[in-house]
Structure 1
Amino acid sequence: MNWIWNVRLETGESMDSYGRVQTETGLFHLKVDEQGQVVEISAAENRQPDGEGFDAKQKLALPAFKELHNHLDKTYLSLEWKASRPSKNLDHRLEMEAAELTELAKTIEQRAQTMIERHLKNGVNHIRTHVNIDPFIRLENLKGVKKALDKYKEYVTYDIVAFPQHGLLRHAEVPDLLRQALQSGATMLGALDPGGIDKNIEASLQLTMDIAKEYQSDVDFHLHDSGHLGYYTMDHWLRMVEQQGYRGKTSFSHAFGLNGIGESKQRAFAKRLKDNNVQILTTVPISLQRKLIPIDLLTEAGVFVGMGCDGFYDSWGPYGSGDVLERVKEFCEYTGKTTERKLRESLAYITEGVTPLDQESVYQWPKVGDEASFVLLNASCSAEAVARAPQSQERILINKGKIYNPYKQRQNIQSL
């Protein structure tokens, strides 16, 4: 690609006659080099399109989206419809999941591929996926997910988290299976509720640290335990991180232990999270109010917060569209964000902090030298894109200058 013509970019803001903020935009042409970087930005009024390129037809460009908590191996997508079976508790749910793992492993690549395509169509160019590593299917899900992701390597990058869904300590072979996974394509180490699942916080965390340090791996924890149990788990891990100098390698997914501990304690803990460069990754579970962690407080403290869709349409639940932009909309709606600036700023949760305008509403993206990765959609500005996400479903993903065409890609995959 040489040029992307007629792209709408945010340029600043103004006030209308009612004192309401409005985002200003303009039309631009973007030149992209062979390395997928923006090398020139020209105002559309100063230059007529000429030569080869892609006409964006005045669609708004936003930074490509990042899906930071997903389970490509769990989805039922591409299979016949089936609702979820009710479970008595988490242990019972894991037993039911284990019973179908062997059968589902036969279609892992197909199902993962279907979910990846859904994300690409929604504008995602990076996926962090957790993949079950367990004694029932061992590394089968990892192999299938990696094959599926590699088919789309021109359009999406990824993290694969080796995830002990059925516990680290409950099955003797799991620790070595995790080591094998980190040697076989998994890029991160996962962990799950050392208290609620493994029933031994200290032993579970220490073994997790041992494996992580052995491979110098980042660690992404699933922490569903709430209240003091969840808080104690995170606090204990941070003390280990501080004592052993393992800063900058931790993500807490869900992190429900941040609830119910009081605002002053939340603020003090947020500072520790920031000091240790810990990421918080949330799926915005608005169906259970007690589980909506203090996202705004964490953001104000400078903690990295990212969002993801988790699993959707799987044994755990039949719901979910797989759209991270809709996750942002739900968060804004639930927390009462209605102003132009608040809606606009919330986009950062799915772009790894990149927004077209900075905190002072000054233009900051894209600039010459930036990666040419965009989502093009029909919206007047990012605030509208967030607030009206379900109406903005027709999107075009451009990753490093390459346009994702789902129809052409499907033909290519069928010929492999």
Structure 2
Amino acid sequence: MTIVKNVRLFPRAPDAPAVDVEITKGRFSGFSPAHDSPAAASVRGAAGSGAEVIDGAGRILLPGLGDVHAHLDSNRMGQTFRPHTADGTLHGYIINDRRNWRQGERSIADQAAYAIARIIASGGTRIRSHAQVDADCGLERFHGVKVALEAHADVLDVQIVAFPQAGIVREKGVRDLLDAALSEGADLVGGLDPLLYDRDPVSHLDTVFALADKHGKGIDVHLHEAGTAGLFSLEEIASRTRTAGMAGQVTVSHAFALDTNPEPEVARILDVLAEAGVSLTTVAPAKGALPQGLIRERRMALGLGEDGQRDYWSPYGDGDLLRRTWQLAFTNGFRLDADIEGCLDIASRGGAQVMAGARPDGSALADDARFGLGVGAPADFVLIDADTVTSAIMDCPRDREVFKAGRLIASGGELIGGPRLS
């Protein structure tokens, strides 16, 4: 048993009494008022019982965060800064990455490991990463990401997406490469703008769903398509999800159409997606904020990712999931604590729901025994010194202690046993 004494639980009120937390076999097993509880008695007798005691020192205990839309094969964090050279179009970004990715100062596996260490040190306990598969790189980038994720499987929940960044139809041989990546352990098959990039939505989505069916794997489609084009693709994805009986196994990333259509149309398509069991992820973009209230009303799983980090697409990003949570609140224009705390819920429990293929059941985070801070949930959490949850997101203190299954895995901005990040 592990006992974390004297902590304040998210999302309780700032003046709520501190608690002692019991952890048994990597899961939360009890929450009791500090200093006046069975846990407190256990703390007093811990020296003789063999229990590990962690002094929370009045810090806030946040649920573990997740990057559920990463591109570990593209980031350049920790490398020499380079000027941005893409032309601003989707195809231009793709070709700019293709032209330059081999010039990185580390191998794909080593650079992915560096990014993973940063994500964990920031509070991350789960990662879903896309890995590019195309006619240029074959499976090289997929293999590098797979090696890095597998090396951290003891401190992370991990998933990898075989991702056709340059399309499926417009490049020869990509279908076979995706097939091979799924055979070699990819957890999901990806897709990209079937209408506006591949210009053949039927063939594109038929291929994605056929490969998922063949391998018994999930799906995660990048959908930058806005306006009515995006609505068309969302309806096609929902229809195929229902037909294939894949509720909970299909994710749409970005889904910019949900920010670029009239609210009645957005509400309608969200009903369609919710009925089909499709989940969503956002990366808190400057344009393309998802309607969190409408999504929450329909109990859809919504997770947060960081996308590329200082890569050939953009100079932005530092791997800090708490800072990305700030960005999610900022790009939505949130000011109320409840709304900002909702962003942290998306960055934590929401991502866990996406990766598990689970729909929210209406539980409060503090009572959620599957993905939250309830008894029975995995003891994945972050201890951070802050006045409130909102102040933690606003200030993003570097000094955080990160725990996976009750075990300390990162402290002071560094992954224990990982590469030096500062």
Q: Deviations over 1:139-175 (max 9, x none)?
A: 1112211221222222111110000011111222111
Equivalent residue, structure 2, for 1:28: 19
Equivalent residue, structure 2, for 1:266: 266
After the TM superposition, which residues 6-405 of structure 1 pair with which residues of structure 2 at under 5 Å, given as runs?
6-10=6-10, 12-13=12-13, 23-33=14-24, 35-46=25-36, 47=40, 49=44, 50-51=46-47, 52-87=52-87, 89-104=89-104, 107-286=107-286, 288=287, 291-353=288-350, 364=367, 366-386=373-393, 388=394, 390-405=395-410
C-alpha deviation, 1:69, in angstroms? 0.7
Q: Deviations over 1:266-296 (max 9, x none)?
A: 111111111111111111112x3xx223233
State the one-letter code of the partner of 1:223.
L
CA distance in 1, matches of 2:171, 2:328: 37
CA pair 8-106 structure 1, distance change in 2 beyond 3 A: closer
Equivalent residue, structure 2, for 1:18: none
Q: Deviations over 1:87-146 (max 9, x none)?
A: 152222222221234444961111111110111111010001000011222111122112
CA distance in 2, matches of 1:124, 1:307: 11
Q: Deviations over 1:202-249 (max 9, x none)?
A: 111111111111112211001112111121111122222233433332
CA distance in 1, matches of 2:83, 2:219: 32
CA pair 361-277 structure 1, distance change in 2 beyond 3 A: closer
CA distance in 2, matches of 1:247, 1:360: 20
Deviates more, 1:334-343 or 1:67-76: 334-343
CA pair 42-273 structure 1, distance change in 2 beyond 3 A: same
Deviates more, 1:44-53 or 1:298-307: 44-53
Q: Deviations over 1:308-358 (max 9, x none)?
A: 111110000111132232233233234332223222233211112499xx9
Equivalent residue, structure 2, for 1:16: none
CA pair 354-81 structure 1, distance change in 2 beyond 3 A: closer
SS of match in other structure, 2:383: strand
SS of match in other structure, 1:231: helix
State the one-letter code of the partner of 1:256.
F
CA pair 38-304 structure 1, distance change in 2 beyond 3 A: closer
CA distance in 1, matches of 2:11, 2:328: 25
CA distance in 1, matches of 2:231, 2:11: 42
CA distance in 2, matches of 1:299, 1:381: 23
Structure 1 stretches (4+) deviating beyond 6 angstroms? Answer: 358-362
C-alpha deviation, 1:409, in angstroms? 5.3
Is the 2:68–2:351 Cα contact (8 Å) retained in structure 1? no
C-alpha deviation, 1:85, in angstroms? 0.6
C-alpha deviation, 1:299, in angstroms? 2.2
SS of match in other structure, 1:203: helix
CA distance in 2, matches of 1:335, 1:369: 33
C-alpha deviation, 1:359, in angstroms? 8.0
TM-score of the superposed pair, with normalisation by structure 1: 0.87
CA distance in 1, matches of 2:11, 2:258: 37
Equivalent residue, structure 2, for 1:20: none
State the one-letter code of the partner of 2:342.
E
CA pair 370-304 structure 1, distance change in 2 beyond 3 A: closer
State the one-letter code of the partner of 1:215.
H
Equivalent residue, structure 2, for 1:19: none
CA pair 209-110 structure 1, distance change in 2 beyond 3 A: same
Q: Deviations over 1:366-396 (max 9, x none)?
A: 333222111111123323323x1x4423211
C-alpha deviation, 1:63, in angstroms? 0.8
CA RMSD of aligned residues (A): 2.6
Is the 1:105–1:141 Cα contact (8 Å) retained in structure 2? no
CA distance in 2, matches of 1:91, 1:333: 28
C-alpha deviation, 1:182, in angstroms? 0.7
Is the 1:102–1:137 Cα contact (8 Å) retained in structure 2? no
Is the 1:154–1:402 Cα contact (8 Å) retained in structure 2? no
Structure 1 alignment gaps of length 5 or more: 14-22
C-alpha deviation, 1:363, in angstroms? 5.0
Deviates more, 1:148-157 or 1:394-403: 148-157
Deviates more, 1:337-346 or 1:251-260: 337-346
SS of match in other structure, 2:158: strand
